[in-house]
């Protein structure tokens, strides 16, 4: 698919996959870490099978597994049940661990998450240079994701961080050929502004396309259209 990457995260129900199978979604995320959106590896495998049997573009979307500080055996066991295309690491995983994942699962891509404190003012954010935060992962990952830190789960807070920080991190990553995505508090209402002003390589949304805690196919449609309209 062309244009910015769109990742819809936290899917749990097969009927939602059926309702969005016609949309130009690049990645579908399954949370395999502690969260109210958590699914078992077996359930993730079933949902991936639903994706692959789709009659629309969703059949070609990449399946992303979201983990927080997983162990090696946890990943091996999960991959036996759920054929993930991308492993998203949302904790304190080291560059060495990221490289282990790439070696252990050939062809599987790795996305490392860097989290910032919430806040619209720069002084509220955790400030560190791109080289300081991202540099150690330069040769260990395929993608980077900027997200808002959640003190309980690490991510999925539904809050934005200071977007003024994006350009320096985006430019650092692009210079090294690493696509950089943005998450944290995105909705159909604000994602167009994000794309127009800051132009990340992709976006990741979960709670921002939900109604009463459940994925809302109409909100997903609006979100996808407003991202892809920025091509």
β-partners of residue 150 are 154
Inter-CA distances, 81 with 13, 33, 39, 117, Å: 17, 15, 12, 34
Residue scoring higher pLDDT (189 or 149): 189
The tens digit of pLDDT for each residue in 48-62 reads 999 999 999 999 999
Distance, CA of 35 to CA of 37 (rounded, Å) = 5
Say if residue 93's pLDDT is above 70: yes
> Which of 35, 41, 31, 25 minimizes the C-alpha distance to 11?
31
pLDDT of 47 above 90: yes
Cβ atoms of 28 and 62 within 8 Å: the answer is yes
Q: How many domains does the chain have?
A: 1
β-bridge mates for residue 204, sequence order: 7
CB 119 within 8 A of CB 125: yes
CATH assignment at residue 187: 3.20.20.70
Average pLDDT, the chain: 91
Q: Within 10 Å of residue 1's Cβ, how many Cβ atoms?
A: 14
According to DSSP, the β-strands at 202-205 and 210-211 are unpaired
- Domain span at residue 195? 5-228
**E strand intervals along the chain:** 5-9, 27-31, 62-67, 86-89, 109-116, 143-148, 180-182, 202-205, 210-211, 214-215
Q: How confident is the model at residue 186 (pLDDT cuts 50, 70, 90)?
A: very high
Please tell me the predicted confidence (pLDDT) of residue 1: 55
Calpha distance 200→49 (Å, rounded):
30
**Cβ burial, residue 214 (10 Å; 0-12/13-18/19+):** exposed
């Amino acid at each position: 698919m062309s244009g910015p990457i769109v990742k819809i995260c936290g899917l749990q129900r097969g009927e939602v996959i059926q309702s969005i199978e016609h949309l130009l979604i690049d990645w579908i995320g399954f949370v395999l870490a502690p969260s109210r959106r958590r699914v078992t590896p077996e359930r993730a495998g079933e949902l991936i099978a639903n994706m692959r049997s789709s009659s629309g573009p969703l059949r070609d979307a990449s399946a992303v597994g979201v983990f927080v500080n997983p162990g090696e055996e946890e990943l091996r066991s999960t991959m036996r049940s759920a054929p993930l295309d991308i492993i998203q690491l949302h904790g304190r995983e080291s560059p060495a661990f990221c490289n282990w994942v790439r070696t252990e699962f050939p062809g599987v891509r790795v996305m490392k998450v860097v989290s910032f404190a919430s806040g619209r003012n720069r002084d509220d954010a955790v400030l560190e240079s791109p080289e300081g935060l991202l540099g150690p992962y330069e040769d260990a990952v395929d993608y980077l994701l900027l997200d808002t830190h959640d003190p309980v789960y690490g991510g999925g807070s539904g809050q934005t961080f200071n977007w003024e920080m994006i350009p320096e991190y985006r430019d650092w990553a692009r210079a090294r050929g690493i696509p950089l995505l943005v998450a944290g508090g995105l909705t159909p209402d604000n994602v167009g502004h994000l794309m127009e002003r800051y132009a990340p390589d992709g976006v990741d949304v979960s709670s921002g396309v939900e109604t009463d805690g459940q994925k809302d196919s109409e909100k997903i449609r609006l979100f996808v259209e407003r991202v892809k309209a920025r091509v």
